[in-house]
Amino acid sequence: MTSTAAGPIRLVLVDDHEMVVAGLKAMLAQFRGRVRVVGEAIGAEEAMVVVAGLDPDIVLCDIRMQGASGLDLCRALRERHPACKVVLLSVYDDEQYLFQSLRAGASGYLLKKISGEHLVRQLELAQTGVIVIDAGLAGRAVDTAARLQSDEFWPGARQGLTQRESEVLSLMVTGLSNRGIAGRLVVSDETVKSHLRAIYRKLGVNDRTGAVATALREGIFQ
């Protein structure tokens, strides 16, 4: 099956690791009749230059990169090159990243564990205007969206926090230290640090001060 009557999809690969780009390029090489890698870029800044010069059909981009993220790149490409579709590729099986990607204008959110054949098929669907989402993640996202609509979730759920992450954030807001939070929840200090990393990532902040400020500003906790 060919992608379009006009020929194979013209694809640009973007990641901040050369090995990942090389791996994707090698995986897609056997599907040249359906997808042709016309360009590659390391990072978002280089990607903007490459896309401007090549005018590809689709950009396949990692969601998390050093410097500007895949989400930043997606928003910039949708503004400057609206005909170019962006499909984000991630190791994160995370509904919050999916929702952020769709809000940024992405045509898809796929996981890096995807096979070559399935990736090509998803790119072909994206080229026709279909929003492509990893099947397992899509099912959970539908359930999450329905529950959010019914207000069945805990504080911070709309930002993608789990119940335990919400508990940790609430204790942060009260001023407890990591050790104090660990004692209150009867978990190790390392477990608390793991929760904090997840909280920072989901709230888009870099530290405890930013997390507390966001929690108060967004009304997650008063």
For 193-202, how does the pLDDT look when each residue is reduced to its tens digit (9 = 90+)? 999 999 998 8
| Average pLDDT of the residues in 167-175 | 89
What is the overall mean pLDDT for the chain? 87
Q: Residue 1: its pLDDT value, please? A: 41
| Average pLDDT of the residues in 146-155 | 60
For 180-192, how does the pLDDT look when each residue is reduced to its tens digit (9 = 90+)? 999 888 889 999 9
**How much of the chain, in percent, has pLDDT values that exceed 70?**
91
Q: Residue 149: its pLDDT value, please? A: 54
For 73-86, how does the pLDDT look when each residue is reduced to its tens digit (9 = 90+)? 999 999 999 999 99
5-25: b or e for each residue (b if 16 or more CB lie within 10 Å)? Answer: eeebbbbbbbbbeeebbeebe
- Distances from the Cα of 132 to the Cαs of 29, 105, 138, 148, 199, in angstroms? 21, 12, 9, 22, 27
Three-state SS for 116?
helix
- Distances from the Cα of 192 to the Cαs of 82, 96, 169, in angstroms? 42, 21, 10
